Amino acid sequence: MLLMAIAALAAVQAATARAEPDLDWLAGYWLSCEDGVEVSETWSNRRGGIMLGTSITSGEDSFGWEQTRIEAGADGLSFHALPRGQPPAAFRLARSGPGEVVFENPDHDFPQRVIYRRDGDRLTGRIEGRVQGRDEAMEWHYRAAPLNARCARR
């Protein structure tokens, strides 16, 4: 009886250790309108072990896009980014909690961390790491918006 209880406990612990966080809170259309730059980020909910994302940045003097995905693999959950004009990069899940997820790749040039935090209808996206020995970070502040909404033109 004791051996069966220990085996059952071990099975529960193993299943819990493999359990991946529910990141469906990231799904939706998110819009940032700061300093004359419009950034829209769209995330699907999780289907078949993958979430797909896109980002489009446009400003008076800039334009960029990025394809992203969060995918379960043999070694756990990873964030994959393919920014316009750059090689793809992968970041492994470092930690997650309610409304927050952090992915890391210490070997990547910049960033080394990708962070998302949600609070109600607000989403913060942040990248951070070291560049030439200095700590650097970039942050975007989004609000939930209807699909394909745009920033008001001034």
Cα atoms in the Cβ-side hemisphere of radius 13 Å centred on 31: 12
Q: What is the mean pLDDT of residues 65-92?
A: 96
Query: What's the length of the chain?
Result: 154
| Nearest-angstrom CA–CA distance, 110 and 130 | 7
Q: What is the mean pLDDT of residues 51-70?
A: 96
Q: What is the mean pLDDT of residues 25-47?
A: 97
Confidence of residue 151 (pLDDT cuts 50, 70, 90): very high
| Nearest-angstrom CA–CA distance, 30 and 124 | 10
CA-wise closest residue to 29 among 150, 152, 147? 147
pLDDT over 80 at 11, yes or no: no
Q: Class for domain 22-144, per CATH?
A: mainly beta
Per the listing, tokens 């609070």 go with 119
pLDDT over 60 at 15, yes or no: no
